[in-house]
Amino acid sequence: MAFAALTRYPVLRKPIFMTRSFLLFLISFQALFPSAISQKLRKADKEIITELQSDIGYLSNNKLEGRRSGTAGEMLASDYIIAGFAKSELKPRGDSGTWLQRFEIYDGKDVQGTRFTINNTSLILNTDYFPLAFSATGKTAGSPAIALQESGSPWFYDLKEIMETVQNNPHIDLVKILREKTRLFAEKGASAVIFYNSSIREDGIAFDPAEGIKSEKIPALYVTKTGRKKYLKDISQSLDVEIEVVMEEKRRWGHNVVGFLDNGAPYTVVIGAHYDHLGYGEDGNSLYRGPGKMIHPGADDNASGTAGLLELARLLKKTKGLRTNYLFVAFSGEESGLIGSKYFTEHTPVPLSKVSYMLNMDMIGRLNDSTHVLTIGGYGTSPQWAGLISSTLNKKVFSLNVDSSGTGPSDHTSFYIKNIPVLFFFTGIHPDYHKPTDQADKINYIGELQVIRMIYAITQKMDGMNKPAFAKTRDKQFGVAPAFNVTLGIMPDYSYSGSGLRIDAVSEGRPAEKAGLKTGDVIVKLGDYSVISLQSYMEALSKFNRGDQTTVEFLRDQVEMKAAVQFK
């Protein structure tokens, strides 16, 4: 990218206020005569870039340990953002007049209190055995024979026969089989069930603490191959068994940072960016495959967007004569499934009816110097966006890629679901995405400056205008999952920690709507496949192709319902 491009769409960082009309004059004048004022703007450009370097450098520093939601690193980041908002003289609009808006994040199940002894010897948790995710919490004891199942005692069950029966069936749901066995054994009087596998075939059974699965009535354990070789060599023997399963739900608290620029206007624009990242990758969303755990600094994702948020707060505070209010929100919980922005849209400090539109910045720091591609999502969420983008885009700086959909894997989705027009700015995926190598020295600061300028120009074009009309778009479905060829046309509720998949939104004209599904319904089965979590839902979806017909079973207000669905 040519350095002369720095002089496009100038932002003067002087101690005096700029009027909107004067700034727009400068923008127009500069587009015609860039060389005439390039020398005057060079200092301002350097000041902005210095601020971006400082903001991104701090937020991606290792002492913040990857800014995972609900951690000390997140709090350090939020303190930094609060200081930036305060310096720009914004007003706090979080909980009880503070800057922070607190929300809950389901953090999986803690089983560290679980105990299992055989003949007074303690088995090692997660090495010799582990509780299954659907296990009940509780205590039991007995002296059962491995090969004998007596009422009132723990039962052993070997998976060997099942593994040999299903070896050529790629669609087998082994967890479903174990649940059904546990339920059956409980009805027959078992006080617990202890599964093991003596076959040579791997079963792939593991404990996933993140799965929010409804518990069965009795404890259910799985003895690993290591544990079986130590303790279950002779199936004819009787064993003294003591079991205590402790299955506690863990919670942590994330924090949105909310600042308000009150211009006494009837409508408010929300400008947002998420500031959380992956921490050490402990939530399973890292793409790093190297040895050991490493800090994920998240310079582009999304210290870059957060720095843009802070810069726009500075610029808009300095702009005099604005006829719109601006609500600046640094979201947390985005990497956990848009939890922070979802909570915000349900607990807004201003009525949603008074929110004009929402601008979202996520990964705006890696503009490619060869292709110059800037992606703008939400292009179809208002009929005004096409003309607006055309009038503010500097074609000498950017090659535009538009995405009409109002949904996607970032926080603007939460606002689109509430029928608010959105625009989403993104400079593209790169090899460092969700890896420890996403570092500040790889940011294209000049490119980010240009993105911020365009967003600022959009706010000036829209300032004082009526609330733009909202338009529904053809929505995308996203998530981490196996590849699939079909979609129901729903948005999952990522904050839901119960069993099944709760629907957060239903897209018009898609299979789910045609089947009669509604927001709040909890899908528990798709065809022959049980749905106990988002992952199992995606795995079930991957089994279908276009044109297939099946059934979907779901709960609506705790009432079991069933509907036919056809994938197109």
User: Can you give the pLDDT of all 568 residues of the chain as single tens digits?
Assistant: 222 222 222 222 223 333 444 344 334 334 333 333 333 447 888 899 999 999 999 999 999 999 999 999 999 999 999 999 999 999 999 999 999 999 999 888 889 999 999 999 999 999 999 999 899 999 999 999 998 899 999 999 999 988 887 766 656 778 888 999 999 999 999 999 999 999 988 888 888 776 666 789 999 999 999 999 999 988 889 999 999 999 888 899 999 999 999 999 999 999 999 999 999 998 888 999 889 899 999 999 999 999 999 999 999 999 999 999 999 999 999 999 999 999 999 999 999 999 999 999 999 999 999 999 999 999 999 999 999 999 999 999 999 999 999 998 999 999 999 999 999 999 998 999 999 999 999 999 999 999 999 999 999 999 999 899 999 997 655 443 444 578 898 888 776 767 889 898 888 888 999 999 998 999 999 998 888 887 788 888 888 888 889 999 999 998 999 999 998 7
Start-to-end C-alpha separation, the chain: 44
pLDDT confidence of residue 170 = 58
pLDDT of residue 121: 96
pLDDT of residue 209: 74
Find tokens 């400079």 and name the residue.
427
Alpha-carbon gap, residue 514 to 244, rounded angstroms: 47
Strands (E) across 148-290 are located at: 154-158, 192-196, 220-223, 241-245, 248-261, 268-274
Contact 523, 552 (CB under 8 A): yes
Q: What angle do CA 39, 42, 44 make, to 5 degrees?
A: 130
Assigned token pair, 411:
């926080």
Query: What is the token pair recorded at 539?
Result: 């795995």
Q: Is 478 helix (H, G, I), strand (E, B) or coil?
A: coil
d(CA 156, CA 148): 8
Instruction: Tell me what pLDDT residue 108 has.
Output: 82
In this prediction, residue 3 carries a pLDDT of: 24
The pair phi, psi for residue 34, each rounded to 5°, is: -60, -40
SS3 139: strand
Report how far apart, in Å, the C-alpha atoms of 249 and of each of 134, 266, 522 are.
Answer: 13, 43, 20
- Locate 345 and state its tokens: 């849209």
Say which amino acid occupies 399. S
Rounded CA gap, 34 and 30, in Å?
Answer: 5
- The answer to whether 111 and 131 have CB atoms below 8 angstroms apart is yes
Contact 270, 358 (CB under 8 A): yes
Instruction: Provide the Cα torsion 362, 364, 368, 371; round to 10°.
Output: 70
Beta-bridged to residue 117, according to DSSP, are 122, 242
Q: How far apart are CA 68 and CA 275, in angstroms?
A: 9
Q: Which of 340, 301, 250, 342 is nearest to 66 (CA)?
A: 301
Q: Is 425 helix (H, G, I), strand (E, B) or coil?
A: strand
Same fold, 3-106+252-462 and 490-566: no
Question: Could you tell me which CATH class the domain 490-566 is placed in?
Answer: mainly beta
Calpha distance 110→210 (Å, rounded): 9
- The C-alpha angle 387, 392, 397, rounded to 5 degrees, equals 130
Classify 313 as helix, strand or coil.
Answer: helix
Burial class for 37, CB neighbours closer than 10 Å (0-12, 13-18, 19+): middle
Integer CA distances (angstroms), 262 to 94, 121, 218, in order: 15, 66, 57
Which helix (H) or strand (E) element contains residue 338? none
Domain ranges of the chain: 3-106+252-462, 112-246, 490-566
pLDDT at 314: 97
Task: Just give the CATH number of 112-246.
Answer: 3.50.30.30
Cβ–Cβ under 8 Å, residues 254 and 102: yes
Which H or E run includes 36?
A: helix 34-59
For residue 509, what pLDDT is reported? 82
DSSP string, 504-567: EEE-TTSHHHHTT--TT-EEEEETTEE--SHHHHHHHHTT--TT-EEEEEEEETTEEEEEEEE-
pLDDT for the residue 215: 86
Q: Which fold, 3-106+252-462?
A: Aminopeptidase (3.40.630)
